[in-house]
Amino acid sequence: MANDSPNVAIITDDPGWHGQQLKQSLLKRGYQSCFVRLQECHFDLNADRAEIQLPGFDSLPAGVFVRGVPGGSLEQVVYYLDILHGLEHLSVPVFNNTRALERSVDKGMTSFLLKSNNIPTPNSIFSSNLHHINYKLREALDQHKKLVIKPIFGSQGKGVQLIENRSQYIDFDEMHGVMYLQEFIDAGENVGVDYRVFVIGDEVISCMKRAGESWITNVAQGGKVEAVELGETTQQLALEAVRVTGLEYSGVDLIRDKQGKFWVTEVNSVPAWRGLQQTTSLNLSEIIVDKFLDHCHLALNHDQRH
Ligand SMILES: Nc1ncnc2c1ncn2[C@@H]1O[C@H](COP(=O)(O)OP(=O)(O)O)[C@@H](O)[C@H]1O
Ligand SMILES: [Mg+2]
């Protein structure tokens, strides 16, 4: 039964629709939640034992749902991850778990994990050495390959750029000293179409097809969504991609090339589900919250008021 003090922290700078959905679903199950900015969390290292203080909480929460990790300087980002690691150290479950968040928030590391587990993902260049990047880039372009530059912490299709020839301007500073380029997957006449597979635990919950106004399909960039049935092999591919990253839930992006082969282009550790919700009668937020509560070993206390 819900009492007045919050027991779940939802980490976000911008609660919006997703925050409200989570709050409602948690309340329906008897849990009060509070939105928390990592910038307002503190280590308290003045007592006998180490503590972490979260705004709005008198004691540690029963669980932490991560809806976003803010950017910032290296020190700030490390600090935010320190808070999440610290909470886990103090036995507070964090969802997705911090180690998996850390690994898959970075597109280059995700590529590494996928490749090293033989999951079909586009060939990529990932380096902080400008000479190496230029050499690999020229080599690929000379072989008539196209490449997609992506900010390693990017989301919603922001900052992705298609590189097709040597004369194109690339703003290296914009990438903060680390470059990540993926080979462009040619979907033939279906260019601008990709697939999103929403995975919770070891189950595919829902799939959608996205069609972009250009080759970029993100809903945030005007992509249109529709429900789609994907074959067993493709679903297994998405499940395997999530398994190797260690995420509890995720949205996997897949592109089908013109020969019909599926490639994993991205594994999202903080996936949005607003677009997907338009394509399914399932209540995604409730399914996610059930998995969250399970991860936190919290009972489903269905609130009598609902
Ligand atoms: N290798 C690729 N080949 C073709 N299109 C791609 C490739 N990678 C990404 N895209 C397109 O760019 C979009 C954004 O890339 P993605 O890696 O998913 O980053 P974001 O985190 O911004 O969603 C994808 O939704 C897809 O439409
Ligand atoms: Mg994506």
pLDDT digits (tens, 9 = 90+) for 70-125: 989 899 999 999 999 999 999 999 999 999 999 888 899 999 999 999 999 999 99
Instruction: Give the per-residue pLDDT at 305.
Output: 41
The verdict on residue 112 lying in a domain is: no
Q: How confident is the model at residue 36 (pLDDT cuts 50, 70, 90)?
A: very high
CA of 40 to the centre of ligand 1 (A): 32
Mutate to test the pocket of ligand 1, among 110, 126, 148 (most ligand atoms within 8 A of CB): 148
Beta bridge partners of 266: 253
CA of 216 to the centre of ligand 1 (A): 6
Cis before 96? omega within 30:
yes
How confident is the prediction for the chain on average, in pLDDT? Answer: 93
> Distance between CA 33 and CA 278 in Å, rounded?
25
The pair of structure tokens assigned to 198 is 């929403």
**pLDDT per residue as tens digits for the range 122-179:** 999 999 998 999 999 999 999 999 999 999 988 899 999 999 998 887 777 778 889 9
The residue whose CA has the least distance to atom 9 of ligand 1 is 265
Of 144, 163, 183, the last residue of a domain is 183
Percent above pLDDT 90 for the chain: 84
Average pLDDT score over residue span 233-239: 98
- As a whole number of angstroms, the longest Cα–Cα distance in the chain is 66
63: domain CATH number is: 3.40.50.20
Total number of domains in the chain? 3
The residue whose CA has the least distance to atom 13 of ligand 1 is 216
**Based on the number of CB atoms within 10 Å of its own CB, is 112 exposed (0-12), middle (13-18) or buried (19 or more)?**
middle
> Distance between CA 193 and CA 211 in Å, rounded?
5
The verdict on residue 105 lying in a domain is: no
Instruction: Give the per-residue pLDDT at 65.
Output: 98
pTM: 0.94
The verdict on residue 2 lying in a domain is: no
> Distance between CA 241 and CA 202 in Å, rounded?
11
> Distance between CA 96 and CA 250 in Å, rounded?
9
145: domain CATH number is: 3.30.1490
